[in-house]
Amino acid sequence: MAIIETKNLTYTYPGGSKPSIQDVSIAIERGEFVVLTGPSGCGKTTLCRCFNGLIPHFYSGKLEGDLTVADLKIANHPIHEIARHVGLVFQNPENQLFALSAEKDVAFGLENLGMPRDEIRKRVDWALQMTGIEELRERAPHELSGGQQQRVAIACVLAMQPDVMVLDEPTSFLDPMGAQKIFEVINELNQKLGITVILVEHRLDLASKYADHVIIMDEGKVILDGEPREVFKSQTARLIGVGIPKATRLWQMLMEDGIRLKKTPVNSEEAAKLLREVLKA
């Protein structure tokens, strides 16, 4: 059974003239690493807000269709209940951290849930260790770099041990090296702990090597949904204006010139390997 399933999900913000997402029907299996992308304004942020219940409980407006996450019908449960199963990491690292030390921030969600102190302590230590930031536990947020802050934010969500982690453009404010580190952390959580990941990203060159499922949206609708290779190689992806990996773009161009590669590459290493075979022959 899919861990996230939507059927004809449609949502209009209060006062909005047209829906921000329309007839979205997708299924995400447990343990998948999903990359969600599309041009600005396509509805990916809106969809993320639906996954953890901010829509419709925090933002009013009209939500139609069905959305089930971890066997919960989102419309029927309060946000704090959904928060045990779905964590959401936001774009701006600064505005997710409220406390004066990293470990207090990580404890925040658990304190809200009323957990006993020793349980909180155990989970906080575990989350800090899994994200590799144990030595930062006593630091205040403004003493940390953007990348470190985002890792704290991920630890905050991880401590609640959700089934699903949604990350809405978490590397926007980071440089490529910082972004790389974040993707590695997220990938480890996905591989080691089996947490289903939904990553909204524009940097497809860096993120696609971890993805087993890619969804592309445009103007509120899901346009492409499937395996990364299939999605990126389609002309539609490029025409919508999505920045597909350069490796895939090169493959498309070579196809036009009559040069075939064995597979469609989605990152630079794959492309190099496939080109070697062609050049050797």
Partner 1 sequence: MSVFEGFRFRRVSSLVHRLDPRVKFFYVLVMFIVAVIFSELLPLTVLFFLQIPFVLVGGVQREWLRSLKGALLFAVMIFTFNFIFTFLYPPVYAQSASPIEYPLAMAVRFLVLVESFSVFFLTTSPDHLSLALEQSHVPYSFTFAFTTAVRFVPVLAEEAQTIMDAQKARGLELEKGSFLRRIRNYIPILIPLIVSAIRRSLELAEAMESRAWGASEKRTNLYVLKLKRGDFILIVIAIAILLLGFYVRYFVYIPPLKALLPI
Partner 2 sequence: MIEVKDVYFTYTSGVEALKGVSVTIRNGEFVAVMGQNGAGKTTLVKQFNGLLKPTKGEVLVDRVSTRDVSVARLARKVGFVFQNPDHQLFSETVEEEIAFALRNFGFEEAAVKRRITWALNLLGLTEYRKTSPFMLSGGERKRVALASVLAWNPKVVILDEPTIGQDHQQKEKLRQFIVQMNAQGKTVVIVTHDVEFVAECNPRVMLMNEGKIIADGEAKKILTDTEIVAQASIVPPQITQIFLGLADFGLPTDLIDVSEARKALVDYLEERAQP
- The residues of the shown chain that bind partner 1, judged by CB under 8 A, are 49, 52, 54, 57-58, 79-81, 83-84, 87-88, 90, 92, 94-101, 103-104, 107-117, 120-121, 124, 138, 140-142, 156-157, 160
Q: According to CB under 8 A, which one of 175, 227, 230, 277 is a site residue for partner 2?
A: 175
The partner in contact with residue 215, picked from partner 2, partner 1, none with C-beta cut-offs of 5 to 8 angstroms by kind, is none
Tokens of 20: 């921000």
Nearer to partner 1 (CB atom), residue 53 or residue 220: 53
- DSSP H/E element including 153: helix 146-158
Number of Cβ within 10 Å of residue 29's Cβ equals 14
Q: Is 177 in the site for partner 2 (CB under 8 A)?
A: yes
Binding letters toward partner 2, positions 103-142, x by CB under 8 A: ----------------------------------------
Tokens of 228: 């990364």
Site for partner 2 (CB under 8 A): how many residues?
40
CB of 268 to partner 2, least distance (A): 4
CB of 215 to partner 2, least distance (A): 15
Q: What is the DSSP string of 240-265?
A: HT----HHHHHHHHHHHTT---SS--
Q: What is the DSSP string of 161-226?
A: --SEEEEESTTTTS-HHHHHHHHHHHHHHHHHH--EEEEE-S-HHHHGGG-SEEEEEETTEEEEEE
Stretch that binds partner 2, among 126-134, 149-157, 207-215, 270-278 (CB under 8 A): 270-278
Burial profile 93-119: b = 16 or more Cβ within 10 angstroms, e = fewer: beebbebebbbbbbbbbbeeeebeeee
Q: Is 219 in the site for partner 2 (CB under 8 A)?
A: no
Contacts of 31 (CB under 8 A, 6+ apart): 190, 194, 195, 196
Largest pairwise CA distance in the chain = 65
- DSSP H/E element including 106: helix 102-112
- DSSP H/E element including 49: helix 44-51
Q: Is 178 in the site for partner 2 (CB under 8 A)?
A: yes
Q: Is 221 in the site for partner 2 (CB under 8 A)?
A: no
Handedness of CA 41, 45, 50, 54 (dihedral sign): negative
Nearer to partner 1 (CB atom), residue 25 or residue 112: 112
Q: Tokens 């209060």 label which residue?
A: 14
Q: According to CB under 8 A, which one of 113, 140, 193, 272 is a site residue for partner 2?
A: 272
Nearer to partner 2 (CB atom), residue 131 or residue 208: 208
Q: Is 254 in the site for partner 2 (CB under 8 A)?
A: yes
Binding letters toward partner 2, positions 41-60, x by CB under 8 A: x-------------------
CB of 223 to partner 1, least distance (A): 27
Applying CB under 8 A, the residues found at the interface with partner 2 are 38-41, 91, 145-146, 169, 172-178, 180, 202, 205, 241-243, 245-247, 249-250, 253-254, 257, 259, 267-269, 271-273, 275-276, 278-279
